[in-house]
Amino acid sequence: MNNLILKAEKTHSLNKEEITSILSNNNIDNVLFSSADRVRQKYVGNEIYLRALIEFSNICQNNCLYCGLRAQNSQIQRYALTEEKLISTAQIAIDAGFKTIVLQSGESSAISTKTLCKIIKKIKQNDIAITLSIGEKEYNEYKDLKNAGADRFLLRIETSDKNLYKKLHPNMDFDNRIRCLKNIKELGYETGTGCLVGLPGQSIGSLADDILFFKSIDADMIGIGPFIPHPQTPLCTESKGSLITALKVMALTRLLLPFSNIPATTAMETIEAQGQLKALQCGANVIMPNVTDEVYRNKYEIYPNKSACGTTINNFKKILACKYAPTGRTIKMSKGNSLNYTKKHR
């Protein structure tokens, strides 16, 4: 088994059977984590890239069974930031030194593509990168947003298991999600995807397929997080995902996609204190501090008790630098482009 991990460290390739056997074996976790940590250091270095996350609207037309923002959750108070508020929030993050802004929302046309384009153009008057995480759109909308200046797009596949996808996403279509990812890639966005770990009905084999899916689309960014049940969703009584399994999926992803940007996700920190620190030591190289005003952030409840950094926007760099210095890592406020992307677009 150790040889299999060393082989992956050198060749960046494993088949489904090999991935499944590593995921099923609990005795080799530390070997796997150390291997992913070496690959991370060799290919993307010791810097932790910071991205400022703005959750600009919790309005969503979809009903993903796991998510607190689902349309049928009538217990949450919906909001959408005004154009001015969104731009001023981005400006505060830019003034604090952030070079990447991530604009995330539920999937809806509450803020039209036209308005979003206007906002993007305005923010892009600064020398920064913009990542969008706003769900499924038509090709022309993705195109307009790209032309307005958006650089990157995150759209998790959530699960590559078509049957499970269907069960968890009423009125959504797996093939359309794939179409969206293809469009995003074709339009020249840095392309991000990812999955949830520990979904009810998800098998180890399907997690192996998720990792192979990331490899097959040559993803530039990959966000992996444990499923956390939300009390106002149909999955409220299900068990939460396991941090260790999520870290193993992430570590294997690092072995197979050495140049990609991989965040230590908020869900990892929420499920266990120091979850992000652990993630940074087994493959992750990105942290996305939430810079949304607290009043809105509390309403953007994908899952309960979403971990916050607990600091002011100007202190992120200092606090995180102190926190992660003992691991030999430095905080970088640069754009932090995905090397997986830049090596293809030189």
Which residues would be at the binding site for ligand SF4 (CB under 6 A)? Answer: 60, 62, 64, 67, 69-70, 106-107, 135
228 binds ligand SAM per the rule CB under 6 A = yes
The answer to whether residues 241 and 226 touch, using CB atoms and an 8 Å cutoff, is: yes
Angle, in degrees to the nearest 10, between helices 204-216 and 16-24: 130
Specify the 3-state DSSP secondary structure of 77: coil
Question: Strands 100-105 and 52-57: what pairing?
Answer: parallel
- The entry of ligand SAM, ligand SF4, none near residue 70 (CB within 5 to 8 angstroms by kind) is ligand SF4
Contact with ligand SAM (CB under 6 A) among 177, 230, 254, 329: 230
Q: How far is the CB of 213 from ligand SAM (least distance, A)?
A: 14
Q: Does 148 bind ligand SAM (CB under 6 A)?
A: no
- Applying CB under 6 A, which part among 5-13, 66-74, 92-100, 280-288 lies near ligand SAM? 66-74
Sequence-separated (6 or more) residues with CB below 8 Å from residue 262: 40, 221, 222, 223, 224, 250, 253, 254, 283, 284, 285, 286
Provide CB contacts within 8 A for 140, sequence distance 6+: none
Task: List binders of ligand SAM among 275-334 (CB under 6 A).
Answer: 302-303
**Nearest-5° angle of CA 39, CA 228, CA 282?**
10
What is the smallest separation between the CB atom of 278 and ligand SF4, expressed in angstroms?
24
* Closest distance of CB 320 from ligand SAM, Å: 22
Cα distances (Å, whole numbers) of residue 264 to 12, 92, 121, 223, 278: 21, 23, 29, 8, 8
Beta-strand relationship, 330-332 and 100-105: unpaired
**Spatial separation of the C-alpha atoms in residues 198 and 160, rounded to whole Å:** 13
Q: Which amino acid is at 62?
A: N
Closest to ligand SF4 by CB, 60 or 184 = 60
155 binds ligand SAM (CB under 6 A): yes
Site string for ligand SAM, 96-135 (x = CB under 6 A): --------x-xx-------------------------x-x
As measured in angstroms, the least distance from the Cβ of 25 to ligand SF4 is: 31
70 binds ligand SAM (CB under 6 A): no
Given the structure tokens 């802004």, which residue do they identify?
Answer: 101
Q: Closest approach of Cβ 33 to ligand SAM, in Å? A: 22
Is 258 one of the binding residues for ligand SAM (CB under 6 A)? no
Q: How far is the CB of 219 from ligand SF4 (least distance, A)?
A: 18
Q: Compute the distance between CA of residue 69 and CA of residue 80 in angstroms, rounded to an integer.
A: 13
Q: Can residue 263 be called a binding residue for ligand SAM (CB under 6 A)?
A: no
Instruction: Select from 84-92, 153-161, 206-214, 255-263 the region that touches ligand SAM (CB under 6 A).
Output: 153-161
Of 48, 71, 22, 56, which is closest to residue 279 (Cα–Cα)? 48
Residues that bind ligand SAM (CB under 6 A): 66-67, 69, 104, 106-107, 133, 135, 155-156, 158, 196, 225, 227-228, 230, 267, 302-303
